[in-house]
Amino acid sequence: MLDVFIDLSRGEFALQASFRAGVGATAIFGRSGAGKSTLVAAIAGLVRPNAGRIALGDRVLFDSAHGIDLPVRRRRVAVVFQESRLFPHLSVRRNLLYGRWAGRRSGGSSFDDVVGLLGIEALLDRKPGRLSGGEAQRVAIGRALLSGPELLMMDEPLSHLDGARRAEILPFLERLATESGIPILYVSHAMDEVIRLADQLVILDKGMVAAAGPLEDVLNRIDLGAISGLAEAGSVLMTEVAGQVTDYALTRLALGEQELLVPEIAAATGERIRLRVLADDVAIALERPKALSIRNVLAAEVTEVAHGTGAHADVLLAIGPQRLRSRLTRQSVAELGLVAGKPVFALIKSVAIRRGGGES
């Protein structure tokens, strides 16, 4: 478990952050300048907070009150940056082995386990110059893991990759989050990556923690739209593959006792799939529509309405235990009489539903 409570000033910028992160992926999300990279640097020991405490399990990395400030090499924290930073004159194998040597610790993940986890067996004899961007980042992650860290931080590792390379590496990052057995801080300003990889979410805004907690709970807070951005506001739904509609290249997903139809997903029946639905893509009706092109019509109940000062209002809907967010005009909310407790139907176009990571 990582415990962070820090107060740090750099010039005119101030960072005040307090949160906890357990095993698996915790996303640090925020707009440019929110303080994400500064937070990573403070945890890694690259910059010193003015005050606070950072602990990793029972080891204290920094405690201003007790004069503790472990040097970088003793923190057992590995960082993967936007660029892979591999040694160009060394093969992939030797880059990986350097990670083991640099960590100077026995135990941890074995070489073969890390290579298998990241799918880089065929790359071992190549030099970095012969790797794609996604391949190079996988090697950089492998090198970090072989150093035997107790915490892995990834600072926007996909930001320099194009869509194809991002799609290539995301499945490996999913496995890493599930199988690494250590806390992972995944820093990003791309919400689709966050939803694909993380179970916990910390939102930074102007150097402050605006929200922290389970991913679904944080994203369903309709008071955070101004921070996450109007274009990012939406919901996360946990579904399960119920079957395929092969004639139309669609996949049936169970959402409690209801179903969603989405563009085909290559997944086995019973596999759990996390979906992202933008608030702008959810319409609301008081009665179940007929003769409609929209494939997904879900029975729901209004739980909360947040009226903005402009044209928009956000409506939070309950679909069983899950929550779905809709953004409507304030005029629509008024004319439909949308208030907490009102039964409605949520309408979502199949082509608007996306899997985390930008996949449909």
Give per-residue pLDDT as tens, 211-270.
999 998 888 887 776 665 545 678 889 999 999 999 999 999 999 999 999 999 988 999
Q: What is the pLDDT of residue 358?
A: 41
Find out whether 335 and 312 touch, Cβ atoms under 8 Å.
no
Domain residues for the domain of 284 are 234-351
Residues 76 and 193 reside in one and the same domain = yes
Average pLDDT over all residues of the chain: 90
Position 227 in a domain: no
Q: Please check whether residues 141 and 202 belong to one and the same domain.
A: yes
Q: What is the pLDDT of residues 116-150, one digit of tens each?
A: 888 899 999 999 999 988 899 999 999 999 988 99
CATH code of 317's domain: 2.40.50.100
Structurally, how many domains does the chain consist of? 2
199 plus 240 within the same structural domain: no
The verdict on 256 and 333 lying in the same domain is yes
207 and 242 in a single domain? The answer is no
CA dihedral 297, 301, 304, 310 (to 10 degrees): 40
Decide if 333 is inside a domain.
Answer: yes
Q: Are residues 14 and 101 in the same domain?
A: yes
Show which of 219, 249, 268 is a domain's final residue. 219
Does residue 306 surpass a pLDDT of 60? yes
Give the pLDDT of residue 196. Answer: 86
Task: Provide the pLDDT confidence category of residue 360 given band limits of 50, 70 and 90.
Answer: very low
| Cα distance between residue 152 and residue 170, in whole Å | 16
pLDDT in tens, 317-337: 999 999 999 999 999 999 999
What pLDDT is stored for residue 357 in this prediction?
46
- pTM of the predicted model, to two decimals? 0.83
In a domain, 356, yes or no: no
Same domain, 134 and 196: yes
In-domain check, residue 357: no
Cα dist from 190 to 28, 159, 206, 336, whole Å: 10, 8, 17, 34
Residues 195 and 159 in one domain: yes
What are the residue ranges of helices labelled H in 14-151? Answer: 36-44, 92-103, 111-118, 133-146
Whether 201 and 254 share a structural domain: no
Predicted pLDDT of residue 31: 84
- Per-residue pLDDT tens digits for 181-202: 999 999 988 888 888 899 999 9
